[in-house]
Structure 1
Amino acid sequence: MAELIVADHVFVNDGEGTVLSPGAVEVADGRILSAGAVTGPRPSGQGVTDLGARVVLPGLVNAHAHTPMSLMRGTAEGHSLLSMEGFLTVLRSREEHLTPDLVPASVAVSCGDMIRHGTTAFADQYFYADEIAPTVERSGLRARIAWGIVELGDDTARARELAAATRFAESLPPGGRVSAWVGPHAYFVDNTPEAMAAELALARRLDAGLHVHFATSGEEEKWCHEHYGRSALEVLRDLGMLDVPTILAHCTTVPVDQLPLLAGTRAAMTVIPSVAMMSGVPAAPVRAALDHGVLVALGSDNVCNNTNTDLFEEMRTLGKLAAFTSRVPDQVTSREILEIATVGGHRALAGGPDDGRLVAGAVADLIAVPVTEIARGPVGAQSLEAALVYGTSGASVTHSMADGAWLMADRAVRTLDLAAAARRQQADYDILSSRMHARGTRETST
């Protein structure tokens, strides 16, 4: 049955700044049937959801996340997880004690955070992906979940991780709301060319994508110049690694003169401005990427390194960081930033060309924010786009829909028991801490 969603303002996100005031969006079977201005009496009655004095806009897309890692939220303070020191000290010291039973509650907490802050679709990369998927299914979010692969050139580890990734990928139907991708942790750093070839073959066979950390420190760039005599992107191009949908997360050290190699490929440069700032690394070259025709998406990374999953904050930070580092005001415009966080994200997740817009044929993923909670200047003085990027918090989102189903209404998440998930997460963390303590005690005693 079709549902008609009415609101005082509908931000179409069509690249023209179109706002329907009032507007109506008709959805059915997970798709938008139509969107248009209300010109006569305001619709009411059965099948109509009137959101009143709110702005309805497309849901945001988190194109790089690690949902189980909310179990370790905040533990990276004082460290950069984009460095080997931080990776080993903060993450590996805890992950070596992590077991599958400690994953689902933290996934639920992370999914709840995303729903409450306006995200309707995301890309995940972590091991124990088979423990992630069932909770994501229950959450109602749209997702591409990649089994994270670390093999470090070890033949046994490579075979084990590829087998696990294959089993997981084959367990989910392709093209569904939740589907499986392949997740090399980092090319040339902890995934060798031999593993990369196998990962690419797997992605092609399953019609899936690749989700990888890239250009976080320049390590793979140095390695490729030493072993191939050319840049990492040139090597990836020549190996065919950019011929399937690929999320290249971070890209803080990608050489600007190499960006044209990404234009026209199926790869998305997925940036996380808050993590760049908190880790003390360069800002990703967003303006240059856009100018070269590169697909750009936005992510939150993990909440060890980034304390929240609020993509409104990430949008605001992207704009400010780009202006600050370039010394050019509004170097990336509000319209471009919204495009990155919506359409760019859906394309990074191999969605349709209109997904991320409120137009006929697009996926029915949308959110609503009260007009009173958008810090906007007088109409005519400030665009709604600028107010959404710079004057809105994800905490103001009251309603969230993904795939045509309401995940949250009046700030109440419908699909998950978040209080129970938080209690279980605390118990899981206590277990993890006790395991770390016990091992530390044994090591000290020897």
Structure 2
Amino acid sequence: MNRAARMTRELLHSATIMTVDPADRIVEGGWLAIEDGRIAALGSASNQPAIGGFDRVTDLSGHLLMPGLVNAHTHSVMVLFRGHAEGHSLLTMDGWYNTIREPELAMVAEDVAPAVALSCAEMALSGTTTFCDQYFFAEEIAGAAGKAGLRAVVAYGIVQLGDEVRGAEELARATAFVEGQRSADGRIVPWFGPHAPYVDNTEALLAEEVVVANRLGCGVHLHMACGPEDNEETLARYGTTASVALEKAGFFNGRIHAAHCLDLSDEDIAVFARAEAASIAHCASAGLRSGREAICPVVPLRKAGVTVALGTDNVAANNAYDMVAEMRVAGLVASHRERQAQPISSRELVRMATIDGAKALGLDHEIGSLEVGKAADLVAIDISGPGYSPVPDVATLLVYSGSGRDTRHVWVAGERIVDDRKLTRRAFADIRTDYATAYEIFWRRVAARREAA
């Protein structure tokens, strides 16, 4: 049953509406109508329709109504590792392998759903309606995300680690996942997810992944330019960076969504700019916590015309799913990197967390802005409490004074999945209880495996 069909017409009114449309309109005292899961109309108080024809009417005085936030890079299962990577850089091969990969070997499918459920709950309660995931156990992630009601691009994680047979087997499994996983309601979108180039996916495998992804009409989501390991092999073999080498191999002929990209040269930026559908997920908080000196060159990338979205990364590297906080950190690190006050405006940061994220995932025709005909993926944030005050631009208020925890209502495809700060599909207390049990079982299993070794 289509859950949104339970209430086909809803009117939201008296809100400050940040549309993030091409004109970047902000409507004070605005209203928005939802019909059959889509935005049917919106406008100002002067042309608000009568409330009698709606199944539900919500007064959003003192609220900001905006598109749902898009978390363009995360690993939802890895909430199991939150707090276990302190003092380690997950953007180096050693840090990732010794801190994360080793305990991952004890993971089983039963660990996944409770972890993803908690991650989805935290994302929804802080205003995220769409996330891009890349990990193992992709089918379990897709199932849990579907139950949570969020929109998700789920990339099947492929780790080769120099084993050609393993790489071929993983590509075959990923292909089967993509072919069989498209959800009927369109909320779950399957992709390929090679972990990283050269570090654990060979040039040949990456090129083949793009060919298959293009045939199936999906994207490829991976980590790139996280550290010197990415470029070591290609510099030794070709005298070029990984991005340049992969462009020559045809890798950038598909939809490529690359996370982190801290170590990009001007030539690398040109590679992304030349590609028809290449984008970057900037994970500012995770980059800072990693201890890496490099910072993703967001300003030069955007000037070159490259789509740059925002992501949290996993919550072992970041610890939080708050995309409002991620906007703020992204703005701060851009100022630091460019030695310039606010080289990215607050409105641009909001766009990076909404419509640019949607564009990176190939979903901008459907989500990312409040426009008539698009899916009703939107959030209402209470801006009437402490820390908020009248300002010339509400985007600045949100980015530099706001918090995702001020989210009050959330809709995905017109379904209200958060109502007055409470999840509607399943109580948060139950989700947390199930997760606590799964967490204890997982780490007991990790300890037993270490003792046996």
Q: Structure 2-normalised TM-score?
A: 0.93
Query: Which residue, 353, 373, 376 being the options, matches 1:361?
Result: 373
CA distance in 1, matches of 2:32, 2:215: 37
> Is 1:50 paired with 2:50?
no
CA distance in 1, matches of 2:268, 2:207: 22
> Is 1:267 paired with 2:275?
no
- Which stretch of structure 1 is more off in the superposition, 256-265 or 151-160? 256-265
Amino acid at match of 2:284: P
> Is 1:37 paired with 2:44?
yes
Amino acid at match of 1:401: W
- Which stretch of structure 1 is more off in the superposition, 78-87 or 368-377? 368-377
**How far is the alpha carbon of 1:49 from its aligned partner?**
2.5
Deviations 1:197-220 (A, max 9, x none): 221122112111001001100322
> Is 1:117 paired with 2:129?
no
Q: Which residue of 1 aligns with 2:449?
A: 439
Provide the alpha-carbon RMSD of the alignment. 1.8
Q: Which residue of 1 aligns with 2:403?
A: 393
SS at match of 2:51: coil
What 5-or-longer segments of structure 2 have no aligned partner?
1-7
Q: Which residue of 2 aligns with 1:12?
A: 19
Amino acid at match of 2:242: A
CA distance in 1, matches of 2:385, 2:79: 27
Length, aligned pairs only: 441
Mark the CA change 1:51 to 1:80 in structure 2 (over 3 Å): closer, same or farther: farther
**How far is the alpha carbon of 1:48 from its aligned partner?**
4.0
**How far is the alpha carbon of 1:174 from its aligned partner?**
7.1
Q: Which residue of 2 aligns with 1:370?
A: 382
Q: Which residue of 1 aligns with 2:342?
A: 330
Mark the CA change 1:290 to 1:353 in structure 2 (over 3 Å): closer, same or farther: farther
CA distance in 2, matches of 1:78, 1:354: 40
2:40 and 2:373 in contact (8 A); partners too: yes
Query: What does 1:394-409 correspond to in 2, within 5 Å?
Result: 394-409=404-419
Q: Which residue of 2 aligns with 1:294?
A: 306
2:154 and 2:189 in contact (8 A); partners too: yes
Query: What does 1:136-155 correspond to in 2, within 5 Å?
Result: 136-155=145-164
Amino acid at match of 1:123: C
**How far is the alpha carbon of 1:374 from its aligned partner?**
7.1
CA distance in 1, matches of 2:270, 2:16: 38
Q: Which residue of 2 aligns with 1:134?
A: 143
**How far is the alpha carbon of 1:430 from its aligned partner?**
1.9
Mark the CA change 1:9 to 1:375 in structure 2 (over 3 Å): closer, same or farther: same
Q: Which residue of 1 aligns with 2:297?
A: 285
Query: Which residue, 229, 232, 235 being the options, matches 1:222?
Result: 232
Deviations 1:366-389 (A, max 9, x none): 00011313734434xx31111111
Q: Which residue of 2 aligns with 1:233?
A: 243
**How far is the alpha carbon of 1:70 from its aligned partner?**
0.7
**How far is the alpha carbon of 1:238 from its aligned partner?**
2.4
Amino acid at match of 1:208: C
1:138 and 1:416 in contact (8 A); partners too: no
CA distance in 2, matches of 1:297, 1:278: 19
CA distance in 2, matches of 1:271, 1:217: 15
1:343 and 1:354 in contact (8 A); partners too: no
CA distance in 2, matches of 1:219, 1:290: 25
- Which stretch of structure 1 is more off in the superposition, 206-215 or 370-379? 370-379
CA distance in 2, matches of 1:2, 1:246: 37
Q: Which residue of 1 aligns with 2:3?
A: none
SS at match of 2:253: coil
Query: Which residue, 233, 241, 262 being the options, matches 1:252?
Result: 262
